[in-house]
Chain A
Amino acid sequence: MAFFSRDRVQLVLGAATAAAITAGALMVSTANATPPGNAAPAFTEVNTAGKPISLADFKGKTIILEWTNDGCPFVQKHYNSKNMQKAQGAATADGVVWLSVISSKPGSQGHADGARADKLTADRGAMPTHVLLDPDGSMGRAFGAKTTPHMYLITADGKVAYNGAIDSIKSNKVEDVPNAANYVTAALASLKAGKAPDPALTVPYGCDVKY
């Protein structure tokens, strides 16, 4: 908790505003929800090289967040079919920042330190811009990430444009990949064409994030 955390500032502001007897703006604590149209919560997590990576680093760029856990069968479905790698390659080639996030707590399935995460990326031929390590789950909770995979698309001005499943068929079977509509690549295409993604909010499917 930072010294001037939201909680503490609210505590003092609450009293100070009363003293001033002004019709101060009501402080509303925001729930951990990121429906499309809302500003993406700010985050700072280290990448596999130990370098802090923040939302603010990518001002003006489109960002994709992918919650991942290499032990999860649903994640394996999209990596074994190369579905995820293809999407990563196409997006990053287009200047999109792709951040794979690992929120598994230490000791749980999918947890990775920098070295293991790098090895996973190399072994799977994955192409994210960074893999972010979020072992305390703070970033996952801030975004309300529920499953692996759980995908978010953030616009250049920091707004959530898509939140939900990677594609339309809820299964762990590789053979379903070709028949499914990939919501993430569709959302990227819509954004590029200057349109709002449709759907912009879907129910994510997969394993639970191992908070």
Chain B
Amino acid sequence: MVAASALAGAATAQVSAKSDHAEGTLVFERSAATPGDIFLGALKLDLAEGWHVYWKNPGDSGLPPTATWTPSPGVTFGDFRFPAPHAIPLATLMNYGYEHQVVLPFQIQIAAEAEPGTDVPIGGKIEYLICSDICIPEDIDLATTLRIAAAPETDNAGSTLIVGTLPRIPVALTGKATVERTATGFRLAVADPGLASAIGAAKNIRFFPEGPELSNPARQIVKTGPEGVSIDLTASDFAKAGDQNLNGIVVLTDADGAAHGWEIAATPGPAPAGVADTEFINADTSGLAPPPPVAETPPMGFADLMLTLGFAFVGGLVLNLMPCVLPVLTIKAAGLVHTAHDPKVSRAHGIAYLSGVVLCFAAIGAILIALRAAGDQAGLGFQLQYPPVTALFALIMFAVGLNLLGVFEIGGSLMGVGGRLADKGGTSGAFFTGLLAVFVGAPCVGPFMAPAVGVAISQPPIVVMAVFIVIGIGLAAPFVLLSFTPAFAKILPKPGKWMMTFRQALAFPMFLTVLWLLWVLSGQTGADGVIAVLAGAIALAFGIWLAERIGRNMLGKLVAGVVILAAFVVPATATTWSKAEAQVTANAWSPEKVAELQAEGRVIFVDFTARWCVTCQFNKGAIHDASVAKTFSDLDVAFLEADWTNKDKVIAEELAKHGAAGVPLYLVYPAKGGEPKKLDQLLTPGMIETAVRQAAGSL
């Protein structure tokens, strides 16, 4: 600092002082200021190696630096303007602050009445909490004088430092920032031309919240697009329920470590387009965030690992009792009788079957590890409870049931392929039986695997793999045991007509499984999803029947194939439309009800619909969107439905009144009363939200 002072010349007002772990320096843009002048000063803190001070939001612990200026007549001090901070992880906590050096600019205003030729005192007490692994509150007193002159004079050293710092100070956003609630927190979306143009050079992107509503250590999932960025954030206990604003800064750091910040004041609303096209992988994960909380489980000791694997084995064993797997195994086990006379063949089959099962589970484990590596932490649980998956499982079970009943023997489905290969009877047949057992078992296991997956996924990949492989070994164990012990096989009854009867009887547990999956689906999607799957089941049965009847020529095969494919695809896509967790429920419409709700000062959304109206059904997807439901409940929007499925004079008159020839018609009545706004006939969630927000006066 001595050197810097000397370089700047005698006129500089720069002043320094040291505490135990930092040196603070006050620098100024001017060496002489004029009456009425407004210019920048700055506090520069040079920190001892390994120590840090804090941003205005310190994160999980700490305090930002403060200045208590000594009152000086005619001088007004502004607040510190904090540059973009770093994320500083500490064990399981996260702090936001600065290491090595920080420059905090602030505004200084000289009163118009100041007398040129005089010196004004400038100084005060600077206090900062400075921390390494421990924290020490330190303070310094800085006092200097600034000359008042008729013309301003530049302090070269001071202005160089301050100007050099300004690019780090977050700038106001010229674009748009929105925030939506997600299952685990928030999705922040920022569209801004300046920010978008900086993405190309960015190595790290992070959002620093001003308030406590986020989990600071949680990993932020960043996506980018031509218009800006979107960042998935995890809520803390301080987040309120429902939509809320989110303030803070988005910081882009380039390869040279230069950080640029944008001030964010995000308001609830759908994300702008072009901000979430590609995943953005932060280069510096160490300085950004420790792994998310779920991965913080301490690594297992050897004894713990063995115990867990023991439980995984028991779990796999139990899977044999499932109605989905049992039929496959029983049939196969009965087949053992044929090979019982030759222990060698029998053993080979056992090993092959084991390999098939284990390979399948290893594949599942690998997929999970890959998903985890891709950062899809939260997604894992959801995949297994995803309505289309449930729908597909139900249809597969239905097909398996038909197969057991003998409706078809070898279809075009995977099940049939597996079955055919499994029927081969050779070693390869045994291997495919293993694959089949897992594949057919999946519908039963899937929805219940989530907890086990949740446990395993918090462990290192090698443990995850071990757990899945051992579940597989557990599943294969009874059959392998049978094939290795000919004495057991001899106890089994001889194959015969009873086997056919038994096999057909096993179809009914399958259908019960379908019923159960439909029940699950009804909770996920409501009646629509169930109807879609039942329609799919009929199409499937029809397709199979076609294949059996006329499937001998190419055209027949083609038609049957298309029908069967449609039987799976249509329900799977149909069930994605609706989400049960946040459906809005409508009340019946009547002119009186509208008048009553208008008197209450509520926003009213009216859906004129009919079951036979295809457009109406299509629009239900938008109306029942989760974000619309949230908006409706936040703004206390009354949702009325006028069902014109059957003739109704009152509805017909109302439609005519609004110039509509029929349904659909969507009306939004403003909270302040008066005439409703007519929405387009093809709705999107965004259109509905914008309309009700306008009607509520919040836009």
For residue A209, CB closer than 8 A to chain B, the reply is: yes
For residue B95, CB closer than 8 A to chain A, the reply is: yes
Q: Are A170 and B451 in contact (CB under 8 A)?
A: no
Residues of B within 8 A of A32 (CB): 293
B191 to chain A minimum Cβ distance, whole angstroms, is 30
- Tell me the nearest residue of chain A to B326, going by C-beta: A19
For residue A141, CB closer than 8 A to chain B, the reply is: yes
Contact of A210 among B133, B318, B444, B448 (CB under 8 A): B133
For residue A135, CB closer than 8 A to chain B, the reply is: no
Q: Are B322 and A211 in contact (CB under 8 A)?
A: no
For residue A94, CB closer than 8 A to chain B, the reply is: no
- Tell me the nearest residue of chain A to B474, going by C-beta: A15
Q: Please, how many angstroms separate the alpha-carbon atoms of A18 and B319 in the complex?
A: 7
B215 to chain A minimum Cβ distance, whole angstroms, is 9
Tally of B interface residues using CB under 8 Å = 54
Residues of A within 8 A of B520 (CB): 23
Q: Please, how many angstroms separate the alpha-carbon atoms of A175 and B84 in the complex?
A: 31
Q: Please, how many angstroms separate the alpha-carbon atoms of A7 and B319 in the complex?
A: 18
For residue B417, CB closer than 8 A to chain A, the reply is: no
For residue A56, CB closer than 8 A to chain B, the reply is: no
Q: Are B63 and A1 in contact (CB under 8 A)?
A: no
- Identify the stretch in A84-92, A114-122, A187-195, A199-207 within 8 Å (CB) of chain B at 4 or more residues: A199-207
For residue A172, CB closer than 8 A to chain B, the reply is: yes
Q: Are B452 and A35 in contact (CB under 8 A)?
A: no
- Tell me the nearest residue of chain B to A73, going by C-beta: B137
For residue B449, CB closer than 8 A to chain A, the reply is: yes
Q: Are B93 and A10 in contact (CB under 8 A)?
A: no
- Tell me the nearest residue of chain B to A204, going by C-beta: B61
Q: Provide the A57-72 mask, 1 if CB < 8 A to any CB of B, else 0.
A: 0000000000000011
Q: Are B135 and A72 in contact (CB under 8 A)?
A: yes
- Identify the stretch in B148-156, B309-317, B340-348 within 8 Å (CB) of chain A at 4 or more residues: B309-317
Q: Are A18 and B445 in contact (CB under 8 A)?
A: yes
Q: Are B315 and A11 in contact (CB under 8 A)?
A: yes
Residues of B within 8 A of A10 (CB): 451-452, 454-455
Q: A10-B454, A207-B134 are in contact. Are A15 and B93 (CB under 8 A)?
A: no
Q: Provide the A23-36 mask, 1 if CB < 8 A to any CB of B, else 0.
A: 11011010111110
Q: Are A146 and B452 in contact (CB under 8 A)?
A: no
Residues of A within 8 A of B238 (CB): 201, 203
- Tell me the nearest residue of chain A to B296, going by C-beta: A141
Q: Are B136 and A73 in contact (CB under 8 A)?
A: yes
Tally of A interface residues using CB under 8 Å = 49
For residue A157, CB closer than 8 A to chain B, the reply is: no
Q: Please, how many angstroms separate the alpha-carbon atoms of A207 and B54 in the complex?
A: 12
Q: Are A21 and B318 in contact (CB under 8 A)?
A: no
Q: Are A21 and B135 in contact (CB under 8 A)?
A: no
For residue A100, CB closer than 8 A to chain B, the reply is: no
Q: Are A147 and B61 in contact (CB under 8 A)?
A: yes
Q: Please, how many angstroms separate the alpha-carbon atoms of A203 and B215 in the complex?
A: 12
- Tell me the nearest residue of chain A to B314, going by C-beta: A12
A14 to chain B minimum Cβ distance, whole angstroms, is 4
Q: Are A19 and B322 in contact (CB under 8 A)?
A: yes
Residues of A within 8 A of B304 (CB): 1
Contact of B315 among A12, A23, A172 (CB under 8 A): A12
Q: Please, how many angstroms separate the alpha-carbon atoms of A11 and B455 in the complex?
A: 7
Contact of B61 among A23, A173, A208 (CB under 8 A): A208
Q: Are B449 and A14 in contact (CB under 8 A)?
A: yes
Q: A18-B445, A27-B451, A207-B131 are in contact. Are A12 and B318 (CB under 8 A)?
A: yes
Q: Are B516 and A23 in contact (CB under 8 A)?
A: yes
Q: Please, how many angstroms separate the alpha-carbon atoms of A172 and B238 in the complex?
A: 23
Q: Are A211 and B134 in contact (CB under 8 A)?
A: no
For residue B237, CB closer than 8 A to chain A, the reply is: yes
Q: Please, how many angstroms separate the alpha-carbon atoms of A147 and B452 in the complex?
A: 33
For residue A39, CB closer than 8 A to chain B, the reply is: no
Residues of B within 8 A of A170 (CB): 63
For residue B300, CB closer than 8 A to chain A, the reply is: yes
Q: Are B90 and A208 in contact (CB under 8 A)?
A: yes
Residues of B within 8 A of A54 (CB): none
A151 to chain B minimum Cβ distance, whole angstroms, is 14
Q: A16-B315, A21-B323, A163-B237 are in contact. Are A207 and B61 (CB under 8 A)?
A: yes
- Tell me the nearest residue of chain B to A29, going by C-beta: B454
Contact of B133 among A18, A21, A108, A163 (CB under 8 A): A108
Q: A8-B311, A10-B454 are in contact. Are A205 and B212 (CB under 8 A)?
A: no
- Tell me the nearest residue of chain B to A17, going by C-beta: B448
For residue A13, CB closer than 8 A to chain B, the reply is: yes
Q: Please, how many angstroms separate the alpha-carbon atoms of A138 and B450 in the complex?
A: 26
Tell me which of A7, A29, A172, A210 has the highest count of chain B C-beta atoms within 10 A of its own C-beta.
A7
For residue B198, CB closer than 8 A to chain A, the reply is: no
Q: Which of B108-163 contact A (CB under 8 A)?
A: 129, 131, 133-137
B303 to chain A minimum Cβ distance, whole angstroms, is 9
- Tell me the nearest residue of chain A to B58, going by C-beta: A205
Q: Are B63 and A8 in contact (CB under 8 A)?
A: no
Residues of B within 8 A of A71 (CB): 134
Residues of A within 8 A of B456 (CB): 11
A189 to chain B minimum Cβ distance, whole angstroms, is 23
B residues neighboring A (CB under 8 Å)? 60-63, 90-93, 95, 129, 131, 133-137, 212, 236-238, 293, 300-301, 304, 307-308, 311-312, 314-316, 318-319, 321-323, 444-445, 447-452, 454-456, 467, 471, 512-513, 516, 519-520
Top 8 A-B residue pairs of the complex, sorted by shortest distance between their CB atoms: A15-B315, A18-B448, A208-B61, A14-B452, A211-B91, A35-B237, A19-B321, A10-B451
Some 10 contacts from A to B, beta carbons below 8 A apart, are: A8-B308, A8-B311, A14-B451, A21-B323, A21-B512, A21-B513, A23-B519, A203-B238, A207-B134, A211-B93
For the A-B complex with A8-B311, A73-B137, A144-B237 known, give 5 more contacts whose Cβ atoms are closer than 8 Å: A7-B308, A15-B448, A15-B452, A21-B444, A146-B60
